[in-house]
Structure 1
Amino acid sequence: MSKTLVYLLFLTVYANANAGVPQEQKTAKDTGIELYNQFKAISAIPYLKVAAEGGDDDAQYYLGEAIRKNKRYIDEEAQQAYQDSAKQGNVYSMIRLSQIDNDLCSAMSNCPESERTPKEWLEVAKDTASKGAAQGNGESMYLMYELSGDKTWLKKSAEHNYPLAQYLLATEYKEGADFFWLPSSRANAVEHWMKASAEGGYPRGMMNYAEVLYNKKDLEGFRNWTEKAAEAGYTEGVFGYGYSLSGKYPEQGFPLDLVKSYALLSLLLELDGGGSAKDAAEYVLPKIKEKMTQLQITEAEKMSSVWKASHPPLSFFPFKLSR
């Protein structure tokens, strides 16, 4: 074999090897965030480390979060992950670093050294977010709200179609924030923003909009958005849709489908990292199983596998910034 061919072969092998690294990191990041969103922070850490070491600022942020939630405070490893992320412009990490004085590590007097003071990180976060907001970025406007507490930013973010902000604004109105002349005006505002959040693809918004429609006696709309929330992988949606198919709430108008009910509720058994979804599923599944034949159970198990392979992973959709 000539030297030229050897060299070309080497380049091909080298290129293919390097091409696989970003994909490996992306897969690790996706898996890590999936586990984190299922409250499995400890299991998420090894995957997030792979992506974080590749320089992904979002993975670095989630790595810091997973470590912090596992340890209950910011240790040196979490601090480094946040800093690596913040230096790439990640405002979420900057916010965490600005809050370290309120962290448990401060009470224990063992907070790790930082490249900037909390006040300096706060200023950098505000500067970065304000630049994004000036360009019309809805998420940056939401971050300005988190940084300042000024609800004007939350409204601006909602108006710029950021679904989380729309959900939070609707929730605040629902809980009594701001002044409305008439109760119907408040209800209309809640419905408007929750609908916008749902249509923007935010699963929490979907479930809350479904509740709004149920209270308005729009059962078809309620069923539609409950199913959409389940299809998005939201644990509350999966449980609500699955349990309703068992015939538990006939007034909701869902068709009786024990096979699909059992299939969906079985998915929740993997959620052993926290939350009540697994316990709720374990409680109702035996009651549904009693009404099923063995053939139906086998069919449900197959359906469960198909659903898992064809839908987004289960998620509690926790807020990216703890609230």
Structure 2
Amino acid sequence: MYTYETALKTLFNLRDSLVMHTTQITELQTHATTKGLALYNLGEFTQSQTYLTIGATAGNRDAQYALGEVFRGRANGLTDDAKKWYGLAAAQNHVYALMRLGDDDSREKARELAQAEADKGNADAMLELYELDQNIATLKKAADAGSMEAQYILAIKYDADKNLITDSIEREAAIDALLKKAAEGGLSKAITWYANRPPINRDLPVRRQWLEKRIQLNDVHALLNYGRAVGGFYTYDDGTDEYGFTEDLVKSYGMFWLITETTRELSVHTSAAQDLQTIAKDMTAAQIDAAKVFARQWEADHPPMSEYRLTYSSAR
């Protein structure tokens, strides 16, 4: 006999089932967005597209912007697909998406949003204002306020345009100071440049410390350097090497293998694959197995592998 209590039980079971399925869908969307953004930040645009599409369709504005960037980069211009995703991100007040759209209304809205945050002392918003007007004074404000990307970009500007600081000693000191701040803050590009400028580039223990910092950030290019360093690729005739690392073929193979497993589009993939073949010649099967275990544990213990490109600027 179908009773009122039976109907209620059926409805409650249906509700619980819907809640469970909704939760599962949300979790899948979140996972796809996270993976898509990680692949995008690694420069693996083709791999990232499917995952980003899931996140972007679900309404994540960062995924929408990244997907717009993928289409724009592939076509080397603003396509209809790129405009579609930029438009959706822009509707959620994504400043850089508004800037990519480029029309007067979008740029004005971007300026209003960035200015409102900059007035609160937001350094990243100050950088957004610089990207809008390309005014060096605005870039200096962003750098002074603590934006690491602004510090790095300002260093590039000083290096490229000698008229900004005419005295060479003062200019080099300013570049070093900016790069040091950004490097200490963890901007991998700044670490790379700073560690390769004199006198740091002649202080091998310090260069090693900076490389180790990039390794912990899981910068894909740093991992390749580290794999080569512990694999004996940089060893001199007297047995020393460029960084002072102890040779460890298991770690070396693990780094190369992890890069080849994670990347497809980057040139570093080809380099790592070649290095992998080279080092494998001197290893046993057991060592190779241990290297893969090491690589998977490294992957679990560190942030997603990344190229650490700049958010908007095309600066080097």
TM-score bracket relative to the smaller structure: 0.7 to 0.9
User: For the residues of structure 1 that align with 2:297 and 2:198, how far apart are their CA atoms?
Assistant: 30
Partner of 1:26: 30
Does the residue aligned with 1:252 lie in a helix, a strand or coil? coil
The answer to whether the Cα contact below 8 Å between 2:127 and 2:150 also exists between their aligned partners in 1 is yes
Give 1:128 deviation, angstroms. 1.6
Deviations 1:254-305 (A, max 9, x none): 2222221121122221355433201222332333233333332222122112
The answer to whether the Cα contact below 8 Å between 2:44 and 2:265 also exists between their aligned partners in 1 is yes
User: For the residues of structure 2 that align with 1:213 and 1:296, how far apart are their CA atoms?
Assistant: 39
CA distance 1:73–1:186, change in 2 (3 Å): closer
Give 1:79 deviation, angstroms. 1.4
Moved over 6 A (4+): none
Deviations 1:153-208 (A, max 9, x none): 2221122222211222223334454215352x333322322222122222222322
1:256 aligns with 2:247: yes
Give 1:45 deviation, angstroms. 2.0
2:186 is aligned, of 195, 201, 211, to 201
CA distance 1:203–1:299, change in 2 (3 Å): same
1:181 aligns with 2:145: no
Partner of 1:168: 153
The answer to whether the Cα contact below 8 Å between 1:82 and 1:93 also exists between their aligned partners in 2 is yes
The answer to whether the Cα contact below 8 Å between 1:37 and 1:317 also exists between their aligned partners in 2 is yes
Partner of 1:79: 83
1:150 is aligned, of 135, 144, 153, to 135
1:309 aligns with 2:308: no
1:50 aligns with 2:54: yes
Give 1:145 deviation, angstroms. 0.8
User: For the residues of structure 2 that align with 1:154 and 1:258, how far apart are their CA atoms?
Assistant: 45
The answer to whether the Cα contact below 8 Å between 1:269 and 1:281 also exists between their aligned partners in 2 is yes
Give 1:5 deviation, angstroms. 4.1
Give 1:218 deviation, angstroms. 3.0
Does the residue aligned with 1:254 lie in a helix, a strand or coil? coil
The one-letter code of the counterpart of 2:134 is G
1:286 aligns with 2:277: yes
Written as runs of structure 1 = structure 2, the 5 A alignment for 1:82-231 is 82-98=86-102, 118-177=103-162, 178-179=164-165, 181-183=167-169, 185-212=170-197, 215=200, 217-231=202-216
User: For the residues of structure 2 that align with 1:204 and 1:153, how far apart are their CA atoms?
Assistant: 21
Does the residue aligned with 1:320 lie in a helix, a strand or coil? coil
User: For the residues of structure 2 that align with 1:70 and 1:273, how far apart are their CA atoms?
Assistant: 16
The answer to whether the Cα contact below 8 Å between 1:262 and 1:300 also exists between their aligned partners in 2 is yes
Does the residue aligned with 2:68 lie in a helix, a strand or coil? helix
Does the residue aligned with 2:53 lie in a helix, a strand or coil? helix
Partner of 2:290: 299
CA distance 1:24–1:170, change in 2 (3 Å): same
Instruction: Report how many aligned residue pairs link the two structures.
Output: 303
The answer to whether the Cα contact below 8 Å between 1:166 and 1:193 also exists between their aligned partners in 2 is yes
Q: Which runs of 5+ in 1 are unaligned?
A: 99-117
TM-score computed with the length of structure 1 as normaliser: 0.84
Q: What is the alpha-carbon root mean square deviation over aligned residues? A: 2.3
Give 1:3 deviation, angstroms. 4.4
User: For the residues of structure 2 that align with 1:305 and 1:143, how far apart are their CA atoms?
Assistant: 37
Partner of 1:40: 44
Deviations 1:51-93 (A, max 9, x none): 1122111111111111222344433332121111111111111
The answer to whether the Cα contact below 8 Å between 1:42 and 1:70 also exists between their aligned partners in 2 is no
Which stretch shows the higher mean deviation, 131-140 or 160-169? Answer: 160-169
User: For the residues of structure 1 that align with 2:78 and 2:161, how far apart are their CA atoms?
Assistant: 35
Q: Which runs of 5+ in 2 are unaligned?
A: 235-240
Q: Aligned residues: percent identity?
A: 30
Partner of 2:73: 69
Which stretch shows the higher mean deviation, 227-236 or 37-46? Answer: 37-46
Deviations 1:217-248 (A, max 9, x none): 33222112212212212121111122111223
Give 1:4 deviation, angstroms. 4.3
User: For the residues of structure 2 that align with 1:269 and 1:175, how far apart are their CA atoms?
Assistant: 35
User: For the residues of structure 2 that align with 1:158 and 1:322, how far apart are their CA atoms?
Assistant: 14
CA distance 1:285–1:141, change in 2 (3 Å): same
The answer to whether the Cα contact below 8 Å between 2:44 and 2:266 also exists between their aligned partners in 1 is no
User: For the residues of structure 2 that align with 1:76 and 1:216, how far apart are their CA atoms?
Assistant: 46
